[in-house]
Structure 1
């Protein structure tokens, strides 16, 4: 099961950086939930999750998984990755910690992202 989960995590980070909302949603089980960031309303089901990821699609973005942070235990995993978005020539950098639950097919059944506005920085390079 661990290899299925690791593959889903790698694909998730890749698609958040360059995929469509539908591509990302395809990694989720039909009744999955997303709480991103933790403390915001939970989105449930493909339609609500697609609406969330559609916000990223028009942005110039790139992502990098920090593979040394991936931890898998049973059907759960936690990992850190960096997402960089560019808006009006400003680069915003965020490194959330995502905690996910998976079904036996490796589909995401729940995702909670740990980050706050204090964790976002503007890259001045």
Structure 2
């Protein structure tokens, strides 16, 4: 999973910035017209399921999600690169408010020609993740 590939590099940097809770660094990884769908489709973070488009919307997404977590851990079982995309299979472990939740899924980073994240799409099921909730 260490192959030097622009999409993998961007995905690794995105996860590192999220773990460090470095909002400015995380936002700087995105293309100006980039977007985030996490999870893909309608959710409490995105009731219409259209994603968070542009840096201002991505910044608001960060404030609703990453900023509220006590800690994040990315447990990646496999990582594949194809074209300008990196697909990661695994789980995101989130600790918040004395609880730990695992979101198993597929996490897809697409980069543009400059290596900036064009899209971050996370495929995971909210109900399934909530069933893993446990006290820490």
TM-score normalised by structure 1 residue count: 0.84
Q: CA deviation at 1:115?
A: 0.7
Map of 1:116 onto structure 2:
125
Q: Is the 8 A contact 1:20 1:54 kept in 2?
A: no
Residue among 79, 86, 99 paired with 1:90: 99
Map of 2:113 onto structure 1:
104
Quote the RMSD (CA, aligned, Å). 2.1
Q: CA deviation at 1:124?
A: 5.0
TM-score normalised by structure 2 residue count: 0.78
Instruction: Count the aligned residue pairs.
Output: 124
Map of 2:12 onto structure 1:
10
**Per-residue displacement from partner, 1:62-86 (whole Å, max 9, x unpaired)?**
22241x5111111112113432222
Q: Whole-Å Cα distance in 2 between the matches of residues 60 and 9 of structure 1?
A: 21
Q: Whole-Å Cα distance in 2 between the matches of residues 47 and 36 of structure 1?
A: 16
Are 1:74 and 2:83 counterparts? yes
Distance 1:27 1:61, change over 3 A: same
Distance 1:7 1:65, change over 3 A: farther
Map of 1:61 onto structure 2:
71
